[in-house]
Amino acid sequence: MSRIYMDHAATTPVRSEVLDAMLPYFNPEFGNASSVYSWGRSAHQALDVARDKVAQLLAAEANEIIFTSGGSEGANLAIKGVAWAYQNKGKHLITSAIEHHAVLDTVLWLKKQGFEVTVLPVDEEGMVSPAQVADALRPDTILVSIMHANNEVGTIQPIAEIGAIVREHGAFFHTDAVQTAGVLELNVQELNVDLLSLSAHKLYGPKGVGALYCRKGVRLEPLIHGGAQERRRRAGTENVAGIVGLARALELAREEQEAENERLTKLRDRLLEGLQQIPYTKVNGSLTHRLPNNVNVCFQYIEGESMLLNLDLKGIAASSGSACTSGSLDPSHVLLAMGLTHEIAHGSLRLTLGRSTTEADIDFVLQEVPVIVERLRQMSPLFQG
């Protein structure tokens, strides 16, 4: 049986060009970048080159890039780092109800430590309103964190507009760009952000490595103390091979971005259109401000989890809600924030396309899904069809 991977929002395979770039830094160039001899210098140089590349792709400066272990650490460092460094200035933080748990749980943890938190609602498409951000800002607001695009429903937020409002007010602005890095242009100047986090494994790089952009002048209290790496903002011997892989993956994505987005948008729209032919089906998210690879629908009267198991039997890998919430019976906090009922939210299916996705994959999914939905509905006591 052939296998169809349609869960690119969860993770992506390392592409061969990225692996090739990384391999020398496991061996022979395995040195510690802090060492003075040639192995160390080679590692140090690789880090410099990678940092320059990442900075350039974000329109940032090299010393504004902090390498991390991924998106979760980036969000934690941005949020806790700013909160702790500026707590004497104010203790109010703003975020949205549809953030990834890496942001949401960090902010809620800070709340338990005595910070005040405003969690903004979203509209039925999952959009955060800039006007609501403006209304929520207070004299003691130190940080606003709003994600660039949502990992479940693909909604792309008006980050530049929100950023301008936050800057005008004098607070700092972080965006979780894990889902947009390698997909949309990420120019930190045009986006009006002070902090931006991204992760390699969502863009055909390795797991366990990412980057945080931190604008010059923004102080961060480190999460990890120890050596002087990353200008004392993140101690620990650098993941040289991973960082080289991250930079190469971002660079390749940037080169191919335009053509790949065009290709994926067509496939996405065909899939969305086909799935909507199934009765009692609702598309989640925005049709206009949407990631080119995201499809998210709810099939009334069925459980997303049973859907996933049935798809897996056909070799199709998909997701229901986010990877972090699947396994629990709670429906997605994102869909609930968008106003869906628990019942409807339970029947959600997310299919996220990627480099490997072909027309034939879409055809196969459109052939199998209606059959599975029909079969599951026949078994459901709620379905009268």
Ligand X SMILES: *Cc1c(COP(=O)(O)O)cnc(C)c1O
Catalytic site positions? 324
Query: 71-85 and 101-112 are packed helices; what angle lies between their axes, rounded to 10 degrees?
Result: 30
Q: What single-letter amino acid sits at 338?
A: M
Closer to ligand X by Cβ: residue 137 or 188 = 188
Q: Which residues contact 28 (CB under 8 A, 6 or more apart)?
A: none
**Residue 336 contacts residue 345 (beta carbons within 8 Å):** yes
Tell me the closest approach of the beta carbon of residue 40 to ligand X, in angstroms: 27
Antiparallel, parallel or unpaired: β 348-352 and 294-299: antiparallel
Q: What angle do CA 246, 248, 252 make, to 5 degrees?
A: 120
What single DSSP character describes residue 63? Answer: G
From the CB of 202, what's the least distance to ligand X, in Å?
A: 6
Is the Cβ of residue 74 or residue 304 nearer to ligand X in the bound state?
74
Name which of 100 and 234 has its Cβ closer to ligand X.
100
Q: What end-to-end distance do the CA atoms of the chain give, in Å?
A: 32
Give me the least distance between CB of 71 and ligand X, in Å please. Answer: 2
- Count of Cβ atoms closer than 10 Å to residue 351 Cβ: 28
Tell me which residue has its CB nearest to ligand X.
71
Residues whose CB falls within 8 Å of the CB of residue 260, separated by 6 or more in sequence, listed in order: 253, 292, 355
Min CB(239)–ligand X separation in Å = 12
For ligand X, give the closer residue by CB, 162 or 376: 162
- Nearer to ligand X among residue 118 and residue 179 (C-beta): 179
Residue 67: name the closest of 48, 84, 81, 40 by CA: 48
Which residues make up the interface to ligand X (CB under 6 A)? 70-72, 100, 102, 147, 151, 176, 178-179, 199, 201-202, 210
List of residues 6+ apart from 10 with CB closer than 8 A: 319, 323, 352
Taking the complex as a whole, how short is the minimal distance between the CB of residue 331 and ligand X, in angstroms?
Answer: 18
